[in-house]
Amino acid sequence: EVQLLESGGGLVQPGGSLRLSCAASGFTFSDYTMSWVRQAPGKGLEWVSAIVSGGGTTYYADSVKGRFTISRDNSKNTLYLQMSSLRADDTAVFYCARGIAPTTSYFLHWGHGTLVTVSS
Protein backbone atom coordinates (compact mmCIF):
# COMPACT_ATOMS: atom_id res chain seq x y z
CA GLU A 1 0.00 0.00 0.00
CA VAL A 2 1.33 3.41 -0.98
CA GLN A 3 1.75 5.69 2.01
CA LEU A 4 2.93 9.28 2.15
CA LEU A 5 3.44 10.84 5.56
CA GLU A 6 4.19 14.53 5.82
CA SER A 7 5.76 16.17 8.84
CA GLY A 8 7.48 19.37 9.84
CA GLY A 9 4.59 21.80 9.77
CA GLY A 10 3.96 24.31 12.51
CA LEU A 11 3.85 27.95 13.46
CA VAL A 12 6.59 30.18 12.09
CA GLN A 13 7.08 33.94 12.08
CA PRO A 14 7.05 35.95 8.86
CA GLY A 15 10.48 35.85 7.29
CA GLY A 16 11.28 32.55 8.97
CA SER A 17 12.16 29.14 7.60
CA LEU A 18 10.76 25.64 7.88
CA ARG A 19 11.55 22.26 6.35
CA LEU A 20 8.83 19.81 5.50
CA SER A 21 9.43 16.10 5.04
CA CYS A 22 7.40 13.40 3.34
CA ALA A 23 8.22 9.80 4.19
CA ALA A 24 7.19 7.43 1.41
CA SER A 25 6.53 3.70 1.57
CA GLY A 26 4.83 0.95 -0.39
CA PHE A 27 6.44 1.72 -3.73
CA THR A 28 9.85 2.26 -5.33
CA PHE A 29 10.30 5.89 -4.33
CA SER A 30 13.36 6.41 -6.50
CA ASP A 31 11.35 5.69 -9.66
CA TYR A 32 8.80 8.49 -9.22
CA THR A 33 8.56 12.21 -9.81
CA MET A 34 7.16 13.73 -6.62
CA SER A 35 5.31 16.97 -5.93
CA TRP A 36 4.18 19.30 -3.18
CA VAL A 37 0.68 20.80 -3.41
CA ARG A 38 -0.74 23.29 -0.91
CA GLN A 39 -4.12 24.58 0.12
CA ALA A 40 -4.65 27.80 2.04
CA PRO A 41 -7.47 27.70 4.59
CA GLY A 42 -10.81 27.77 2.79
CA LYS A 43 -9.12 28.14 -0.59
CA GLY A 44 -8.33 25.99 -3.61
CA LEU A 45 -5.42 23.78 -4.50
CA GLU A 46 -2.08 25.19 -5.61
CA TRP A 47 0.74 23.09 -7.04
CA VAL A 48 4.00 24.22 -5.42
CA SER A 49 6.94 22.19 -6.69
CA ALA A 50 8.05 18.94 -8.30
CA ILE A 51 11.26 16.93 -8.50
CA VAL A 52 12.10 14.17 -10.92
CA SER A 53 13.08 10.71 -9.80
CA GLY A 54 16.84 11.24 -9.68
CA GLY A 55 16.56 14.71 -8.21
CA GLY A 56 18.35 16.39 -11.08
CA THR A 57 15.46 18.50 -12.30
CA THR A 58 13.10 20.61 -10.22
CA TYR A 59 10.11 22.81 -10.98
CA TYR A 60 8.45 25.57 -8.98
CA ALA A 61 5.36 27.72 -8.98
CA ASP A 62 6.18 31.37 -9.56
CA SER A 63 4.81 32.20 -6.12
CA VAL A 64 7.56 30.22 -4.37
CA LYS A 65 10.45 30.40 -6.81
CA GLY A 66 13.61 31.58 -5.11
CA ARG A 67 12.17 30.98 -1.63
CA PHE A 68 11.41 27.25 -1.59
CA THR A 69 13.72 24.37 -2.46
CA ILE A 70 12.52 20.84 -3.16
CA SER A 71 14.87 17.92 -2.68
CA ARG A 72 14.81 14.20 -2.04
CA ASP A 73 16.87 11.48 -0.45
CA ASN A 74 16.16 8.26 -2.33
CA SER A 75 18.18 6.24 0.18
CA LYS A 76 15.74 7.35 2.88
CA ASN A 77 12.59 7.34 0.70
CA THR A 78 11.98 10.91 1.76
CA LEU A 79 10.92 14.09 -0.01
CA TYR A 80 11.69 17.53 1.40
CA LEU A 81 10.55 21.10 0.99
CA GLN A 82 12.83 23.77 2.45
CA MET A 83 10.87 26.98 2.84
CA SER A 84 12.43 30.33 3.60
CA SER A 85 11.36 33.98 3.64
CA LEU A 86 7.93 32.76 4.63
CA ARG A 87 4.98 35.10 4.29
CA ALA A 88 1.49 35.12 5.73
CA ASP A 89 0.10 33.99 2.39
CA ASP A 90 2.19 30.82 2.60
CA THR A 91 -0.13 29.64 5.38
CA ALA A 92 -1.59 26.40 4.09
CA VAL A 93 -1.86 22.66 4.39
CA PHE A 94 1.00 21.19 2.39
CA TYR A 95 0.44 17.83 0.72
CA CYS A 96 3.01 15.46 -0.70
CA ALA A 97 1.73 13.76 -3.85
CA ARG A 98 2.71 10.96 -6.22
CA GLY A 99 1.51 10.37 -9.75
CA ILE A 100 -0.24 7.41 -11.30
CA ALA A 101 2.99 6.47 -13.10
CA PRO A 102 6.66 7.27 -12.53
CA THR A 103 6.87 10.34 -14.77
CA THR A 104 3.20 11.28 -14.84
CA SER A 105 2.06 14.12 -12.61
CA TYR A 106 -1.54 13.09 -12.25
CA PHE A 107 -1.68 12.81 -8.47
CA LEU A 108 -3.21 9.50 -7.49
CA HIS A 109 -1.64 9.26 -4.04
CA TRP A 110 -1.68 12.01 -1.45
CA GLY A 111 -0.49 12.33 2.11
CA HIS A 112 -2.74 13.61 4.87
CA GLY A 113 -1.08 17.01 4.77
CA THR A 114 0.85 19.13 7.25
CA LEU A 115 -0.26 22.60 8.31
CA VAL A 116 2.11 25.53 8.03
CA THR A 117 1.01 28.72 9.77
CA VAL A 118 2.97 31.90 9.16
CA SER A 119 2.09 34.47 11.78
CA SER A 120 3.67 36.75 14.35
Distances (CA, A) of 67 to 3, 83, 90, 120: 28, 6, 11, 19
Whole-angstrom CA distances from 41 to 50, 88, 116 are 22, 12, 10
Residue 11 or 101 with smaller CB distance to other proteins: 101
Residue 40 lies near other proteins (rule: CB under 8 A): no
From 91, 98, 48, select the one nearest 69 (Cα to Cα). 48
Contact window for other proteins (CB under 8 A) among 7-15, 70-78, 79-87, 104-112: 104-112
Q: How far is the CB of 67 from other proteins (least distance, A)?
A: 14
Is the CB of residue 110 less than 8 Å from the CB of residue 2? no
By CB under 8 A, residue 113 contacts other proteins: yes
Q: Total number of residues binding other proteins (CB under 8 A)? A: 22
- Minimum CB separation of residue 88 from other proteins in Å reads 21
The nearer residue to other proteins, 103 or 119, going by C-beta atoms, is 103
CA distance 58 to 34: 10
Dihedral of CA 12/78/109/3: which sign?
negative
Least Å from the CB of residue 110 to other proteins: 4
Give residues in contact with other proteins (CB under 8 A): 35, 37, 44-47, 50, 59-62, 95, 100, 104-108, 110-113
